[in-house]
Amino acid sequence: MTVLLDHAPEFGTAFGWTLLLIVLAWTGAVAVGTAVAAMQLSAVRPARVFAGAYIGVFRNVPLPMQMVLFVFGLPVLGVSYPLFTSAVVVLVVYTSAFVAETLRSGLNTVARGEAEAARALGFGPFGLLRFVALPQAFAAVVQPLGGVLITMVKNTSVAAVIGVAEFTFTANKVAVEESETFVVFGAAVVAYVLLGLLLGAGINALEKKVAFQR
């Protein structure tokens, strides 16, 4: 336990970076995923084709490969970003594909009659999405979206592959330096489990609140 106390400030900083990575990546993934889900149901064929290709590519290419290609491949083309920014971008792109598919299933639950009624009231495509379809879609997929969020939390550890000093990277560094692999990674496992349980409890509470309002 001494090794954990000795490196507590370092672990605290690393966990802070992990939380920031989660917040930024999830915010971006929901925004991009919502746009892609809407494009999937668009009446414009090129938009549907683009959305299908986006989801097909980024959902099926392994996340570590996307990380490595983004960080070490783009500089060949003269494009490079800081490591933390790169991790955020890749997590957004990867996770947004799953968000889009989850939201699409939610959008499909919206009754056609409601959409027709909204059009009769003068709502355009964007108004229909914003005020009618998306609120119902999000309410219908709280648990599935929560599952995507928890998976993304675990996926933040992949940022260690490209050298981002988040929690997993720091745990590995300290474990190697102190030769205390079991203690350090055991503590890291507990931290991730607690974070996952906390998020799960929040998701369950949100789902009950949405169900009550509906």
Average pLDDT over every residue of 182-201: 92
Q: What DSSP letter does each residue of 48-73 carry, written as one string?
A: HHHHHHHHHHHHHS-HHHHHHIIIII
Percent of the chain with pLDDT over 90: 51
Tokens, residue 213: 């309002």
Are 159 and 166 within 8 A, CB to CB? Answer: yes
pLDDT of the residue at 76: 86
Per-residue confidence at 111, pLDDT binned at 50, 70, 90?
low
Expressed in angstroms, the distance from the first to the final Cα of the chain is 48
Tokens, residue 97: 């594909």
Prediction pTM value: 0.89
Distance CA 20, CA 40 (A): 30
Q: Inter-axis angle of helices 45-60 and 8-40, to 10 degrees?
A: 150
Distance CA 63, CA 162 (A): 12
Distance CA 166, CA 200 (A): 22
Are 28 and 92 within 8 A, CB to CB? Answer: yes
Burial of 168 (0-12, 13-18, 19+ CB in 10 A): buried
Comparison of pLDDT for 115 and 91, the residue scoring more = 91
Domains in the chain (CATH in brackets) are: 2-213 (1.10.3720.10)
Q: From its phi and psi, is residue 179 left (phi > 0), alpha (psi between -120 and 50) or beta?
A: left
